[in-house]
Amino acid sequence: MGVRARTAVVGVQQVREAAFRGRLRLAVVALDASRHSLEKVVPLLDARRIHTLEVPSASELGAAVGRESTVAVGVLDGDLARGIRALAAPARSGAGRLGRAPSAR
């Protein structure tokens, strides 16, 4: 939905670029991603205090955006980000498996 409307970006590089430009409102990261991929994106998301949700697999995340798999998806639209966070809130409790609690953004 957000990808077609250009309110979301797919892939580590696009998520990084959106975060650098201050356009990212939410990031979704696959926990089964390689350590290298996570190291490329997670520290930047933390430094920019971007709210991050975690999903179990890149294939699940990819399916949600019409791809075979993807490690990261970034949401650019504030309303869409709030909606996704609201839907994910009942499923989350405390810090994620990446070892940090989501930021307040």
Q: For residue 101, is it within any domain? A: no
Q: What is the largest CA-CA distance in the chain?
A: 32
Straight-line distance from the first to the last Cα atom of the chain, in angstroms, rounded to the nearest whole number? 22
Distances (CA, A) of 86 to 12, 17, 36, 65: 24, 25, 30, 19
CB atoms near residue 72 (< 10 Å): 27
Q: Give the model's pLDDT for residue 21.
A: 96
Mean of the per-residue pLDDT values for the chain? 86
Q: Give the model's pLDDT for residue 90.
A: 74
The label of the residue with tokens 């498996």 reads 97
Residue 105 pLDDT more than 90?
Answer: no
Q: For residue 2, is it within any domain? A: no
pLDDT tens sequence across 56-98: 999 999 999 999 999 999 999 999 999 999 988 776 554 454 5
Domain of residue 32: give its range.
8-91
CATH number (domain holding residue 35): 3.30.1330.30
Domains: count for the chain: 1
Does this model's pTM top 0.75? yes
